[in-house]
Amino acid sequence: MGIINATPDSFYKGDILLGMDGLINKAQQMIAEGVDIIDVGGQSTRPNATLLTIQEELERVIPIISALHTLHPQLIISVDTFYSEVAKQAIAAGASIVNDVSGGTIDEAMLPTVAALQVPYICMHMKGNPQTMQQLAMYDDVTLEVLDFFIKKVHDCSAVGIKDVIIDPGFGFAKTITHNFTLLKNLSQLKILQCPILVGLSRKSTVYKTLNITADEALNGSTVLHTLALENGANILRVHDVKAAKEAVQLLAAYHQ
């Protein structure tokens, strides 16, 4: 899954290009590199990010989704949003997956909306919201709490009629670096839910703070953690750098032949 951030305040600037053409060109490059899904988001979810209104988010993501769908009708596009109205309009514009970092906790209409749209739902674990999550990074057992969260959420999704749920443990969302490494080590425990597992570790602070570098320098470290995630059961890697991630997938597949 390649990340297209239609926001000027992402924690990583590597894919922030000027204007619609720059973002479309970035997506075209990802397609050439073999991306399977393009994830389009307009809301920065880094710690303490300013919350956009529904209208602001729509103005950022809908033109990109519409343009990509027109250029590449077969491309699988996910919309990264926690607003049900954005999800609805994004699916109408050509997206086919809803990726919700709040797991339906910010907009209570999200789960029934996704059920009505009959599309897959990526449910992520996060405590609070991007403005409060860093103060909530406290767990007795982070793996157990995340697992318990997903047991309930998968049930809730099924109860409203969502047929396909993908789970994302939410690396960096209300979690310290230690929590992130613990979750990565125990990732295979989430397989008990029998849902595909999505991992978002690309160029995050777990990589660059551990190595005492910047996000711009964190490609190699990201690839190492992506490889560990794949080895521990990840099914989808959400990444800034498609070529490197595809190479990790390919090499690991050859290793296991």
Assigned token pair, 4: 């297209």
What does the radius of gyration of the chain's CA atoms come to, in whole angstroms?
Answer: 17
CB 29 within 8 A of CB 228: no
Distances (CA, A) of 114 to 27, 39, 61, 251: 25, 16, 18, 35
For CA atoms 149, 155, 156, 157, give the dihedral sign. Answer: positive
Q: Rounded distance, CA 222 to CA 226, Å?
A: 6
Active site members: 204, 238
The DSSP annotation for 70-104 comes to HH-TT-EEEEE-S-HHHHHHHHHHT--EEEETTTT
| Polymer length of the chain | 257
- Counting Cβ atoms within 10 Å, is residue 194 exposed (0-12), middle (13-18) or buried (19+)? exposed
